[in-house]
Amino acid sequence: MSDAELVLRSTRVITPEGTRAASVAVSAGKIRAVLGYDAEVPSGARLEDLGDDVLLPGLVDTHVHVNDPGRTEWEGFWTATRAAAAGGITTLVDMPLNSLPPTTTVDNLRTKKDVAADKAHIDVGFWGGALPDNVKDLRPLHEAGVFGFKAFLSPSGVDEFPHLDQDRLAQSLAEISSFGGLLIVHAEDPHHLDAAPQQGGPKYADFLASRPRDAEDTAIAQLIAQAKRLHARVHVLHLSSSDALPLIAEAKREGVRITVETCPHYLTLTAEEVPDGASEFKCCPPIRESANQDLLWQALADGTIDCVVTDHSPSTADLKTDDFATAWGGISGLQLSLAAVWTEARRRGHGLEDVVRWMSARTAQLVGLDQKGAIEAGRDADFAVLAPDATFTVDPAALQHRNRVTAYAGKTLYGVVKSTWLRGERIVADGEFTDPKGRLLTRTN
Ligand SMILES: [Zn+2]
């Protein structure tokens, strides 16, 4: 470690081999070595002794709606990436919709990158979008470095991002698989949604009935069939219905190239606790019953669900009306995802190593970011420093995202992020941020 500029020392460093006391040597933004706890600090290197705070790899959140440009009153790169940094996230991948333009052509991607360039406090990558009429744009977007393509199988909530019917899905998936790309899918079947009772109004039970499990289950079954036929790589976004888990488990056993994510709100909030009119809890698919949640945790534990991402999707507060049918659907989770998931994980007997696997290692793998997602030599020196036994009560005023609407207000959570580091630089500590140091990432494999 003779060339180290910085050494981070902790009694609890989470490495791919487990948690141990170690000294992590960093130079030029990279982890050079993970050494013994008592390793000698080279002359000229700065020692950061973190005591018993846990050093974990910065989280990689592959599902974030930044909405910038175009709907920057909802969110923006400056505020979203600050919220992420405050929550221990060092990389995010931005969804192609809710910004104007959506990321559906190479020109639009360029527009988004121009906007993001000097505002990113953490590293930012981009998903492209697969629309009914942009099949010709998919390969150029892939070559321009998007990490894959998002499609909806039911209406997305914004007019400029129409959904794919089964024929269009087949067409887009064939094209994407022809260049080895990844299709990520919002899987709710529009026919099942149409057939469900659309009561409207402030009752959460009515909203839940309007987005039934079988809408998810059917769409996922169709997606599995398409992926199998084309031997294509697909990813199920924000799984909520536990009824789909046996289908997914079987597809995985059969070798279908499918991965699955779920979100902190499905893992930590339940339908039973949502007050009527509280549309800060609205998202699609919806937060379901606590028995459903138990099965999601079981599926994370057994690997049927691969990873946990926020699906941070804010809007202005006025769009969160008390009518669940018309309120904007989306939950803002960037700053709280680690603490929320950790709080519930520890209650259920999981370790922080599990949380790191779900929220950093596996998400980095999903998008092929080999330089992220683990504390080991050669990777980027991206870290979160966490006091896992410390608690805090969620105060919306302390949140960094633009509109401080949150479904977690008043909750007491375990896990205080003391500082976050990006390529060897501390980018936030105790609520104080540096200037933006994030880079824009492109797919490398
Ligand atoms: Zn989303």
> How far, in Å, from the CA of 155 to the mean position of ligand 1?
13
The answer to whether residue 444 is domain-embedded is no
Residues 43 and 126 in one domain: no
> How far, in Å, from the CA of 50 to the mean position of ligand 1?
35
What are the pLDDT digits (tens) for 102-113?
999 999 999 999
pLDDT above 90 for 1: no
> How far, in Å, from the CA of 202 to the mean position of ligand 1?
23
Q: What's the alpha-carbon Rg for the chain, to the nearest Å?
A: 21
The answer to whether residue 331 is domain-embedded is yes
> How far, in Å, from the CA of 1 to the mean position of ligand 1?
42
> How far, in Å, from the CA of 208 to the mean position of ligand 1?
18
pLDDT above 60 for 2: no
Closest by CA position to 189, among listed 223, 159, 162 = 223
Q: Residue 5 and residue 328: Cα distance in Å, rounded?
A: 47
> How far, in Å, from the CA of 312 to the mean position of ligand 1?
7
Can you tell me the mean pLDDT for 239-250? 98
Q: Using 50, 70 and 90 to split pLDDT, how confident is the model at 405?
A: confident
The answer to whether residue 373 is domain-embedded is no
> How far, in Å, from the CA of 56 to the mean position of ligand 1?
26
Sheet holding 307-308, edge to edge: 128-129, 149-152, 182-186, 233-236, 258-262, 307-308
> How far, in Å, from the CA of 437 to the mean position of ligand 1?
25
Which of 333, 366, 399 is where one domain is finished? 366
> How far, in Å, from the CA of 63 to the mean position of ligand 1?
6
> How far, in Å, from the CA of 32 to the mean position of ligand 1?
35
> How far, in Å, from the CA of 422 to the mean position of ligand 1?
25
> How far, in Å, from the CA of 22 to the mean position of ligand 1?
37
Residues 308 and 220 in one domain: yes
The answer to whether residue 334 is domain-embedded is yes
Backbone φ/ψ region at 415: left (φ over 0), alpha (ψ -120 to 50), beta: left
Residues 74 and 119 in one domain: yes
Four-point Cα dihedral 132, 165, 160, 307, nearest 10:
-100
Residues 146 and 169 in one domain: yes
Q: What pLDDT, on the 0 to 100 scale, is given for residue 50?
A: 98
Q: Residue 99 and residue 129: Cα distance in Å, rounded?
A: 12
What are the pLDDT digits (tens) for 132-157?
999 999 999 999 999 999 999 999 98
> How far, in Å, from the CA of 156 to the mean position of ligand 1?
9
Q: Is 304 in contact with 248 (CB distance < 8 Å)?
A: yes
Residues 92 and 193 in one domain: yes
Q: What is the DSSP letter of 361?
A: I
Domain holding 152, by residue range, is 59-366
Q: What pLDDT, on the 0 to 100 scale, is given for residue 373?
A: 98
Looking only at Cα atoms, what is the longest distance across the chain? Answer: 70
Residue type, 336: L
What are the pLDDT digits (tens) for 4-62?
999 999 999 999 999 999 999 999 999 999 999 999 999 999 999 999 999 999 999 99
Residues 50 and 179 in one domain: no
CATH code of the domain in which 51 resides:
2.30.40.10
Residues 47 and 64 in one domain: no
> How far, in Å, from the CA of 272 to the mean position of ligand 1?
23
The answer to whether residue 320 is domain-embedded is yes
Residues 41 and 176 in one domain: no
pLDDT above 90 for 441: yes
Q: What pLDDT, on the 0 to 100 scale, is given for residue 369?
A: 98
Closest by CA position to 100, among listed 89, 114, 111 = 111
The answer to whether residue 403 is domain-embedded is no
Q: Is 25 in contact with 376 (CB distance < 8 Å)?
A: no
> How far, in Å, from the CA of 235 to the mean position of ligand 1?
13
434 Cβ neighbours under 8 A, 6+ residues apart: 121, 425, 426, 427, 428
Q: Is 39 in contact with 340 (CB distance < 8 Å)?
A: no
Residues 18 and 144 in one domain: no
Can you tell me the mean pLDDT for 84-88? 98
> How far, in Å, from the CA of 38 to the mean position of ligand 1?
44
Residues 322 and 387 in one domain: no
> How far, in Å, from the CA of 164 to the mean position of ligand 1?
16
The answer to whether residue 175 is domain-embedded is yes
> How far, in Å, from the CA of 311 to the mean position of ligand 1?
5
Q: What pLDDT, on the 0 to 100 scale, is given for residue 367?
A: 98
> How far, in Å, from the CA of 283 to the mean position of ligand 1?
9
> How far, in Å, from the CA of 249 to the mean position of ligand 1?
23
Give the number of domains in the chain. Answer: 2
The answer to whether residue 375 is domain-embedded is no
Q: Residue 178 and residue 343: Cα distance in Å, rounded?
A: 42
> How far, in Å, from the CA of 23 to the mean position of ligand 1?
37
Residues 78 and 37 in one domain: no
Residues 190 and 65 in one domain: yes
Q: Using 50, 70 and 90 to split pLDDT, how confident is the model at 184?
A: very high
CATH code of the domain in which 268 resides:
3.20.20.140
The pTM of the whole model exceeds 0.95: yes
